[in-house]
Amino acid sequence: MATSKKNENSNNWAGSAPRINLGQFLFYLITLAVLVIIYFRFSELKLIGEIFAGSNLGWLAAIILIQLFVYYFQALNYRDVLRIKDLEVKPGELYPMSFVVQFLNQALPSAGLSGQVFFIQYLKKYGLSVAEGMGRAFLEIMTLWMATGSFFIASSAIILKGGAIANVPQLRYVIYFFSFSAVIVVSVFFLIQRRKRSGLARWITNWLHRHFEKKRKLKDEDAIDHSKHAEVIFDQFRSSLNFKMLQKKAKSFWMAFLWQCMIIFAHITTLYFISFAIGHPIGFRLAFIVFSLVRFISMATFVPGSLGVFEGSMTLILISFGLAAGPALAMTLLLRAFTFWLPMPIGWALYRWYFLQYKFENLYNELSQEK
């Protein structure tokens, strides 16, 4: 009798145990990640402050204005990508979200992916399902990679035509890596045009199901067919990037691509203006080459905010093209300040506001309900 009573109390306690809210956990985790980044890069922030103090205020004001347009271009990209999904949202409503997505991409390992989970949840207020939100994310990332690739190809052509590759032979390896990555991405694009799912895709979904089913059984829980989730994701990936569908929505798709190009062009202009702000002007062509190369290198890493990778690669490339080490480092740190550090508190504040305004659930569970 006593044992039965004890078991009953134990079950009652287990049932009333507080459950961890995934959304709150992620919010505090991301906040902690930002604080850790600030702690380890505090010396960099102090140096940026010193560079700011010695820079031309007129040029700095122009740079801030350009960066505000960067986020507006991002909002326009969101608008046109959503138009492909037959959803009309004004850029003014999407403008604050562009800060949040950028903040999350900087705080967590990205390649442009981290902010998408939050954005997919946000789009539910417009009636977009999780699966449809994933399709929108695929389209946005596609336009991002296309724009990055286009600028990289243009900068590589300038380098090869001008003979600069002889002075900086290490750039060959970057170009080779880009070519290899481009072949893979283009191959995947053409493979998904097939009507039937490939044998590899079926093997992956079946493996996922077996793996998670085994883990569930070890925990004495009901097994969930996780392969169904993968099927939904694969189907959205294929349907969103379907060539015939993109042809029907060609205007919206190419406008979305244009806004991604405008974002990169604005960053290049920012780097160009920074060189004047610190009193060591460089040519616009050099700014174009350097930023286009660094943009691809940074996207190819999964380091939060590409910290270290961005600074190191940009400084080394500027030095390789004949700029002194001091001005090269100053330009790099100022560009990092305008594109990373200064927007970060704005993104965090907006992220917290959206987090409190809307109820964000587990996307994985919601995907189960949509099947």
pLDDT band at 17 (very low <50, low <70, confident <90, very high): very low
Residues 95-144 pLDDT 10s: 999 998 888 877 765 555 667 878 888 888 888 877 788 888 889 989 99
Sorted by sequence, the CB contacts under 8 Å of residue 55 that are 6+ apart come out as 277, 278, 334
CA dist 93 and 96 (Å) reads 7
Of 204, 219, 85, 58, the closest CA to residue 139 belongs to 85
pTM for the model stands at 0.79
Model confidence at 359: pLDDT above 90: no
What separation, in Å, do the N-terminal and C-terminal C-alpha atoms of the chain show?
46
CA angle in degrees (0–180, nearest 5) for 221-224-226: 140
Model confidence at 11: pLDDT above 50: no
With contact defined as beta carbons under 8 Å apart, do 188 and 241 qualify? Answer: no
Look at the alpha carbons of 157, 76, 64, 38 in this order and tell me if their dihedral is positive or negative.
Answer: negative
Mean pLDDT of 205-226: 57
Q: Count the neighbouring beta carbons within 10 Å of the beta carbon of residue 195.
A: 6
